[in-house]
Amino acid sequence: MANNLLNDDFSFASLVEGINSAPVAIGPVSKSGLFDDNLIESTDVAIELIDDALTLVQTSLRGGISDLHPHTNRSMVKLKTSHIRTSATMLADSWLDRSGFGQAGAPAQILQERDRKLREMRARLDATIDYQKTRALNGQILDADGSVVLDLFAEFGQTQQSVEFDLDVTTTNLANKVVSARRLSESVLGMNYANDWIIFASAEFIDAARAHASFEAAVAGWGAAAALTSDHRDGSIVIAGARLIECPNLAGKTFIPAGSAFLAPRGVPGLCTTHFGPADYNEAIGQMGLPLYAKAEELPMGRGLVIEAQSNPVCVISRPRAIIKLNA
């Protein structure tokens, strides 16, 4: 009986399609589209760093010696994808009293249970990937136990830039602080212009900004009714061209350190990317990686099935200094 299920409704192809089409449960960073997805053939990612600092061309005499184009420094950083995996069991004992189990294919109740398991596992994997993306803004991607999965600043040999917002000072101008942070980021980006800017903030940073005197100036003209009814956490407020979005802590994990925020330029090609490697299954050999995988296996003595779901991501910010930390 389990063989029929594994060949049809619980086949590798069916489960992979099912988990990738299951309802998505993503956080603010994933929802913003800051990170582009890239599917790769291996668990290794090679990031080429190019020193493309812009310089001006010196004038020269016509027919004389021209300006010499500067040498471009290139280096390579190799990173590995992380392997996040979870599993769930579906026991045959729980299906025995369900009519139609002897027919070809699984009855509707079993398919509903399968889909529920896929949704639950996808939600956990999505939350984990969003946690990795959010922590990448801080330069260190953390595991569920708090250990460091990847230190981007150490890998790229850089240090983070930051701006003190001085929200405990009544005369601080929020717009000027945002502009200062944007200038720091723009100095790193060079000629790579952002489509827009987002400030991903902790709850404490949002509250301190909202309580500041100059916040009223930031929402002036937005509309009195809207200003009173909104809680200003969802990106509806724009300060000096940057949308303010709160990133809540989930599953007992700190997504953004208390009192901090991160200014990120969105739409810069190759700046923020999530690379997805292939699963450690025979079916994935020689194939491009997928965001999510799922596979089923029969339990001993045919007592049911175990369904496993996994993802193999690495979240990369190719120029970590372009993400500016804001301290309340």
* pLDDT at site 229: 46
Give yes or no for residue 259 having a pLDDT over 60: yes
Q: Which helix (H) or strand (E) holds 12?
A: helix 12-21
d(CA 245, CA 306): 39
d(CA 240, CA 114): 48
* pLDDT at site 125: 94
Question: What is the mean pLDDT of the segment spanning 71-81?
Answer: 77
Q: Which structure tokens are listed for 238? A: 């724009």
Judge contact between 274 and 35, C-beta under 8 A: yes
Judge contact between 128 and 274, C-beta under 8 A: no
Question: What is the mean pLDDT of the segment spanning 20-37?
Answer: 88
Q: Which structure tokens are listed for 142? A: 């953390």
Which residue's structure tokens are 């953390």? 142
> 293-307 burial, b if ≥16 CB within 10 A, otherwise e?
bbbbebeeeeebbeb
Nearest C-alpha neighbor of 239 from the set 297, 326, 157, 154: 326
* pLDDT at site 215: 77
Judge contact between 289 and 278, C-beta under 8 A: yes
3-state secondary structure of 85: strand
Q: What is the pLDDT of residues 278-328, one digit of tens each?
A: 999 999 999 999 999 999 999 998 888 999 999 999 999 989 999 999 999
Q: Which structure tokens are listed for 314? A: 């690495």
Judge contact between 55 and 70, C-beta under 8 A: yes
Question: What is the mean pLDDT of the segment spanning 151-179?
Answer: 91
Please give the residue that has the higher pLDDT: either 205 or 49: 205
Identify the band that residue 100 occupies on the pLDDT scale cut at 50, 70 and 90.
very low
Percentage of the chain exceeding pLDDT 70: 83
Question: What is the mean pLDDT of the segment spanning 240-262?
Answer: 92
What architecture (CATH level 2) is domain 2-52+73-327? Alpha-Beta Complex (3.90)
Identity at 52, one-letter amino acid code: D
How many beta carbons lie within 10 A of that of residue 58, not counting itself? 8
Q: CA end-to-end span of the chain, whole Å? A: 61
Q: What are residue 184's phi and psi, to 5 degrees?
A: -60, -45
Which residue's structure tokens are 């960073």? 29
> 80-96 burial, b if ≥16 CB within 10 A, otherwise e?
ebbebeeebebebeebe
* pLDDT at site 288: 94
Please give the residue that has the higher pLDDT: either 25 or 242: 242
Question: What is the mean pLDDT of the segment spanning 177-195?
Answer: 92
Q: Which structure tokens are listed for 211? A: 């309580």
Give yes or no for residue 143 having a pLDDT over 60: yes
Judge contact between 16 and 309, C-beta under 8 A: no
Question: What is the mean pLDDT of the segment spanning 84-110?
Answer: 71
Identity at 29, one-letter amino acid code: V
Judge contact between 248 and 130, C-beta under 8 A: no
Angle formed by the axes of helices 12-21 and 108-137, to 10°?
60
Mean pLDDT across the chain, nearest whole number? 85
Nearest C-alpha neighbor of 311 from the set 91, 68, 39, 60: 39
Q: Which helix (H) or strand (E) holds 96?
A: none
Identity at 176, one-letter amino acid code: N
Give yes or no for residue 1 having a pLDDT over 60: no
What pairing do the DSSP bridges indicate for beta strands 84-91 and 304-311?
A: antiparallel
Nearest C-alpha neighbor of 255 from the set 290, 218, 206: 206
